[in-house]
Structure 1
Amino acid sequence: MFWNRHRHGKGRRCTVLSSAETAGCPVCGEFQPLSTVGKGCRCRIRRHRAHGAVRQRLMDMGFVPNTEIEVVRVATLGDPMEIRVGDSFVTLRKREADQIEIFAA
């Protein structure tokens, strides 16, 4: 499980504990991007919003919906981050991790 924190208009914060694929924020329905979780987080991919070659490359590396992933390491400033997908380890930039929506495993 993880905490989903983001803002809704006029700076109002939203904090929701998401534990299922359908349990996004009740106000906006958003899910947490992969770039916001820390080291050791185990989660599943809901979908990714990447397009073109980046989308295809992510899918080729195993980033497909409902796949369990684990954040192995995160650099000091959050960019890049190392992700375990199956038996492989993949390093993603923050902007690529922003495109992947996750939910708790």
Structure 2
Amino acid sequence: MTLDELDLGQRAQVRAVTGRGSMSVRLLEMGFVPGVEVALVKRAPLGDPLELRLRGYHVSLRRAEARRVEISGVGA
């Protein structure tokens, strides 16, 4: 499962960042590293971008970027 598939209010743990290139590196730099808990806070009216909470701060990602983050342990 990937980060773009979360429903509002759901939490999960980052399992891995996939892909190559600068965007994957940037996601890791933003804190999307294995084991970190992330929650979906808001979704824009047309579904893009997503507002996520991790490590005590909020970050917005496009769905294409969120699709690079594999997650596990999805819960409320």
Give the structure-1-normalised TM-score. 0.66
- Whole-Å separation in 2 of the counterparts to 1:82 and 1:101: 17
The residue type equivalent to 1:53 in the other structure is: S
Aligned residue-pair number = 74
Match of 1:62 in 2: 31
What 5-or-longer segments of structure 1 have no aligned partner? Answer: 1-31
Runs of 4+ deviating beyond 2 Å:
none
Which protein has the bigger helix share?
A: 2
Q: What percentage of aligned pairs have identical amino acids?
A: 38
RMSD (Å) for aligned C-alpha atoms: 1.2
Is the aligned partner of 1:52 residue 2:21?
yes
Give the structure-2-normalised TM-score. 0.88
The residue type equivalent to 1:62 in the other structure is: G
Note the alpha carbon deviations across 1:18-62, whole angstroms, 9 max, x for none: xxxxxxxxxxxxxx1111111101100011113211111111110
What 5-or-longer segments of structure 2 have no aligned partner? Answer: none
